[in-house]
A and B are shown apart, each in its own frame.
Chain A
Amino acid sequence: MTTTAISALPAGLARSIKRGEMITKCTRSNLRRNTSSECIFAAPGRSWHGSPCWPRSSSRRAAKQRLTRSFSNAAPASLRSPNEDDLTHFRSILAPHQIVTTLGNSSNSRNDLDPYNRDWTNRYQGHSSLVLRPQSTQQVSSILAYCHERRIPLVPRGGNTGLCGGSTPLSNEVVLSLEYMNVIHSLDASSGILSAQAGCILHDLHEYASQRGYLFPLEIGSKGTCQIGGNVSTNAGGQYYYRWGGLHGNVVGMEVVLPDGRVLRLNMAEGRSDVHGGMDSAASVGGCHRKDNTGYDLKHLFIGAEGTLGVITEVAVACPPLPTSKHAVMIVCESYSTVLEVLVAAKEELGEILSAMELMDWQTLTLVRGSLGDSSVSGEALLLDEMLDTKNDSTTASSPPLSQSTATTPQSPLYILVETQGSNSEHDASKMDSFLTRLYDSLTIRNGFLATDSKRIHTLWNIREACNPAVSRSGYVYKYDVSVPIEEYMDVAAEVKETLSSQGSSFFPETAVCVWGHLADGNAHINVVTPGIFTKDESLASHVDESVYGSVLRRRGSISAEHGIGQSKSEILGKIKDRSVLDVMVQLKQLFDPHGIMNPGKVLTSDMVSNMKS
C-alpha cells in the first residue's frame, strides 16, 4: 500500500468510520484495509516503513474490550485526515507559499513533504499530505478552530530537532509548522524580558539578546535549527540548566492558541497580539512581568506539553545580563569516583560562576574523533587526539574503538567539560586557578586542558555538541535520556553493557554504549549504537529498553530527564506513572482538547485518552 494510494481514497469513507472501530481495526493488525487507510487511527505501524505504531497495547484483547466500550459510550466523533475541501478552505486563509501539500492538483511532490514527515535521526516517519505554515496567531487560531470543528488532527512542528518523535506525524495528520512566525518583538532593557514569536530560531534569540547585553538562558546543541516554541513545548533542558534553571523558571509569559481557536495571553503585553491585525513589534513589554501570581499559572501546563494541549505562538523569556568572562576546562578523570570529587570541588571552588558541567565517556569521544577525519585541519581533532591520548597510551589506542571489551574496561577515562561565566575575568580566573590547583594537588585526575579565549572554549563545546550527531551518524541509536542520583550516573549504562555482554553475540557484537550528559543535573544521555547498521533491531531494542528502564526505575530515576515523551516513550509513560497522576493528565488533555486533535498519540497514547472517556 503506498501513501499516494491512501491520499487518493474517497474521504467520505474514512469520515464515516467511528473512532472505536478504527482503533479496533488497528489492534487487530487489520491494517491493509483500504477503508481504514485514510483515517488517522489506522496508522499501520511497522507495515509502513517500519514507523512505530500506536496504539500498541501490551494486551490486544484488553485493548479491544476497552475500545469497544469507549465506542459504545459515544466517544467524540472520529478524527479524519485532511481532504481537498479542507485544502480549498486553507487556501482561502493562507498564501500559496504557506501551504505544502500533495493533495489535489498541487505542484508539490512527496519530496517537498519529506522534511516534515521524517525526524532528523531517521527513526520516525510520518505520512502527512498537508503542511500549513501560518504567519500570525490569527492564522493559527483559524486553522485550529477549523480543524477542531472538523476533527482533523494536527502536529505542531518547530525546528524538528526533538529526539522522541514528538513533531513527526504518526500518520496523515496536518503538520502545523511555525517556521514563518519568526519575529523577535523586543527585549526590555530594564527587566531583560525578551518576547518573540514561537518560530524564532534559538540562535537568533541568542544573537538578539547578546547584542543588547543579555544572555538567552537556554543553550542546546541544536540551537542553529531548533525554535523557541518547540523548546518551550518540549521543556528543553540543555547545558546551562544548572546555572540558569529551566524554562519553567525563565518563561515568564506566553501566548497560546487552544484547539478551539481561543487565544490565551498569559502574562503577555497587551496590544501586540496580531489576532487583531498586524504585528506591532515596537510595543513595550508592559503587561509582562517577572512576577505574576494571579490564580492558576496556566503557562506551565504548556511548557513540556509537546503540543498536545495547544499551540504556543509567542513567548516572553527573562534573560540574565550577558556574562563577559568565560573560562572552560576539559578534565580527564580515571574513574567515576574522581568525577564525583571534581563535581564537589567545582561547586565549592567555582561557586556562583560555575555554568556547566558536562560529562562524556571515552566511547562517545572515540566516535566523535572518528567523525572528524584528519587532525591537521581541525582544532577539535587535534585536541581529541591529546584527550584520548592516542599517541602515547598504547593500551587505549591499540584497542579497536568499538569493541565491547574496551567499552566495559573500568579504566576507560571520563571527560568533564567545566565552564564558568561571570562578570570579572580576574575574579573568575582566580577561582578557576584555585579549582585547578585543588584538583592537581589532591585528586588523581589524568589531565586537564584549559581554555580562556573564545576560540578554545568553542572548540571544547564543539566536541561536546558533536556527541549526538557523531553517534547518530555512526549507526542506529537506541536513545535514552534519564535522571538518576548523581552517584549512580554511570551505573545504568554499566548495567546495560552487562546485559549486552551476557547476551553474547546474539546481538551485533559491535554494539557500543555511549554516555554523555549534564553531570550536575544528574541527567545522563545513554545511547546504544550499532555502528554501521542503520536499521532498528526489535529484539535488541526490547532488551535495551528493559535493561535501561528497569535500572532507572530501580534507582527511582526519571525515564525522560529533558527530551520529553513524544511518540517514543508514551507507552512506557503509562506503565510508570501513578494511575491517579495519569488520570489527571488525561483529564487535562480532555479539558483543553476535547476532540483530541492536538498531536494525537504523543505523550499520552490514544489508549490512555480513550480509556478515560469510557
Chain B
Amino acid sequence: MSRNQPIGVPSHQSIAYHLSSQQYNKTMKILVPIKRVIDYAIKIRVDPTKGPHAVQQANVKMSMNPFCEIAVEEAIRLKEAKKSKDDEVVAVSIGPKQCSETIRTALAMGADRGIHIETKGDVRGDYIDLQPWGIANLLKGVVEKEDKVDLVLLGKQSIDSDCGQTGPLLAGLLNAPQATFAAKVTREDDGSFVVDRETDAGTETIKLKPSNAPAVITCDLRLNTPRYPTMPNIMKAKKKPVQVISLEDMVKELGLNLDDVLKPRNQVVEVYEPPPRKEGEMVESVDVLIGKLKGKGLVG
C-alpha cells in the first residue's frame, strides 16, 4: 500500500496537480453537505402496510446525521487551524423546510453560511425519492456554482439509508481526488490534504493533492467529537446568511432534469423490522445449561 498516493483516483489527477499548483489560492472554502435524518436514538417505527414507505417519519424527532456533524466539526477545525478570516465553511442541506434547523445547528457550531435546497414535504431522502445519484448531481452543481471550493467534507454515510455512496459519486462526477472513512485530516501549506483512513487492515495515510476539482473526504466516527453550539456562537449564527432555493429552481439553474434527479436508481423492494429477539430462558444450574447447549449442538 503506497503512501501519498490517492486510492481509487484516476492517474490523471497528478496532471491536474501541475495545472493547479500555480492557481492555488490562499483562502480556503469548505463545502459541508449535511442531512436531516431520524434522530439516532429514536426507535424506528415500521408500518408494514406502507411497502417501501414503511419507515414512519411523521412526529419523529429528527436531527443532523451524526457523520455529517463530524464533517461540520472537522471543517470548523480546519478553518480554525488555518486562522485566516477569509476562509469559509458552507453548510448545504437538501430536504424539506425543517432542514433550516439543521443548517442553523451547523452555523451555531461555527459554519459561516448555509445553502438550503428545499424539497417539497413529500420528497423522501431516505433512499426512496432522492437517492445518492440525485444528491451527488445537485452537490456537483453547488460546487461549480460556488467556484473555488477546496474541499467537500461529507459524512461517510447517513444513518437512515446507510448507502455511503454520495461522497464517492460526487468525487466521480467532479473527477476529484477522494479519501473515504477519514479518521484524521490535516491540511498542508501547499493546499493538499493528508488523510488517515480507517481500513480493515489498519490505518492508511494518503495525501490528496490540489487539483482543479476540490478534494472529497468522507468522515468516519473516530475523526472527532463534535462541539456544542455555545451561547455566543448561537447568537452569531442568527446573523449568518442562509440561501434558500427550491429544488425545482435549483435544477433549472443547474441545467439538470428534475425527473432525472428524483428518479430512483435503485428500487426499494421491501422494508421490514428485524425479527424480535426471542425471550431468554432461565436455567436452574450449569449442568442444565450445558445439557441444553449440547442439545442444540452448540458445545461438543
B43: chain A residues at CB < 8 Å are: 210-211
Answer whether A439 and B231 are a contact pair too, CB < 8 Å, given A210-B43, A379-B225, A454-B41.
Answer: yes
We find that the number of chain A residues with CB closer than 8 angstroms to chain B is 34
Indicate the size class of the contact surface on chain B.
20 to 34
- Please tell me if the beta carbons of A454 and B63 are within 8 angstroms of each other in the complex: yes
Interface of chain A residues 206 through 238 with chain B (CB within 8 A): 210-211
Task: Across the interface, name the chain B residue whose C-beta is closest to A207.
Answer: B43
B62: chain A residues at CB < 8 Å are: 425
Q: CB of A447 within 8 A of chain B?
A: yes
The proximity string for A residues 383-411 relative to B, scoring 1 for CB distances below 8 Å and 0 otherwise, is 10010000000000000000000000000
Total A-B residue pairs with C-beta atoms closer than 8 Å?
Answer: 78
Q: CB of B98 within 8 A of chain A?
A: yes
Interface of chain B residues 59 through 111 with chain A (CB within 8 A): 59-64, 66, 69, 98, 101, 104-105, 108
Cα–Cα distance between A326 and B234 once the two chains are bound (Å): 17
Q: CB of A97 within 8 A of chain B?
A: yes
- Please tell me if the beta carbons of B230 and A448 are within 8 angstroms of each other in the complex: yes
Please give the distance in Å from A456's CB to the nearest CB on chain B. Answer: 6
Residue A453 contacts which of B69, B234, B235 (CB distance < 8 angstroms)? B69
Answer whether A436 and B284 are a contact pair too, CB < 8 Å, given A379-B225, A453-B40, A453-B69.
Answer: no
Cα–Cα distance between A439 and B62 once the two chains are bound (Å): 26
- Please tell me if the beta carbons of B101 and A425 are within 8 angstroms of each other in the complex: yes
Cα–Cα distance between A211 and B45 once the two chains are bound (Å): 8
Q: CB of A598 within 8 A of chain B?
A: no
- Please tell me if the beta carbons of A425 and B64 are within 8 angstroms of each other in the complex: no
Interface of chain A residues 421 through 455 with chain B (CB within 8 A): 423, 425-426, 429, 433, 436-437, 439-440, 445, 447-455
Cα–Cα distance between A27 and B225 once the two chains are bound (Å): 60
Interface of chain B residues 119 through 154 with chain A (CB within 8 A): none
- Please tell me if the beta carbons of B101 and A449 are within 8 angstroms of each other in the complex: no
Q: CB of A382 within 8 A of chain B?
A: yes
Cα–Cα distance between A352 and B60 once the two chains are bound (Å): 20
- Please tell me if the beta carbons of A437 and B61 are within 8 angstroms of each other in the complex: no
Q: CB of A324 within 8 A of chain B?
A: yes
Task: Across the interface, name the chain A residue whose C-beta is closest to B229.
Answer: A450
- Please tell me if the beta carbons of A324 and B59 are within 8 angstroms of each other in the complex: yes
Cα–Cα distance between A97 and B282 once the two chains are bound (Å): 10
The proximity string for B residues 220-234 relative to A, scoring 1 for CB distances below 8 Å and 0 otherwise, is 000001001111101
Please give the distance in Å from B98's CB to the nearest CB on chain A. Answer: 6
Q: CB of B39 within 8 A of chain A?
A: yes
- Please tell me if the beta carbons of B234 and A450 are within 8 angstroms of each other in the complex: yes
Please give the distance in Å from A515's CB to the nearest CB on chain B. Answer: 23
Q: CB of B42 within 8 A of chain A?
A: yes
The proximity string for A residues 11-32 relative to B, scoring 1 for CB distances below 8 Å and 0 otherwise, is 0000000000000000000000
Residue A324 contacts which of B60, B104, B231 (CB distance < 8 angstroms)? B60
- Please tell me if the beta carbons of B61 and A454 are within 8 angstroms of each other in the complex: yes
Q: CB of A284 within 8 A of chain B?
A: no
Residue A426 contacts which of B41, B59, B98, B225 (CB distance < 8 angstroms)? B98
Please give the distance in Å from A351's CB to the nearest CB on chain B. Answer: 20
Interface of chain B residues 202 through 247 with chain A (CB within 8 A): 225, 228-232, 234-235, 238
Cα–Cα distance between A169 and B137 once the two chains are bound (Å): 69
Q: CB of A60 within 8 A of chain B?
A: no
Residue B40 contacts which of A331, A379, A455 (CB distance < 8 angstroms)? A455
- Please tell me if the beta carbons of B101 and A324 are within 8 angstroms of each other in the complex: no
Please give the distance in Å from B179's CB to the nearest CB on chain A. Answer: 23
Answer whether A325 and B61 are a contact pair too, CB < 8 Å, given A425-B101, A458-B41.
Answer: yes
- Please tell me if the beta carbons of A425 and B61 are within 8 angstroms of each other in the complex: yes
B64: chain A residues at CB < 8 Å are: 452-453
Please give the distance in Å from A520's CB to the nearest CB on chain B. Answer: 21
Please give the distance in Å from A216's CB to the nearest CB on chain B. Answer: 14
A386-B228, A448-B234 known, 8 other contacts, Cβ within 8 Å: A97-B282, A324-B60, A326-B61, A331-B231, A436-B231, A452-B101, A452-B105, A454-B42
Residues of B at the A interface (CB closer than 8 Å) are 39-43, 59-64, 66, 69, 98, 101, 104-105, 108, 225, 228-232, 234-235, 238, 282, 284
15 contacts between A and B (CB under 8 A): A97-B284, A324-B61, A425-B98, A425-B101, A429-B104, A433-B238, A436-B234, A437-B235, A437-B238, A445-B231, A449-B228, A450-B228, A454-B41, A454-B42, A455-B66
Q: Which 3 A-B pairs have the closest CB atoms?
A: A453-B63, A454-B41, A448-B231
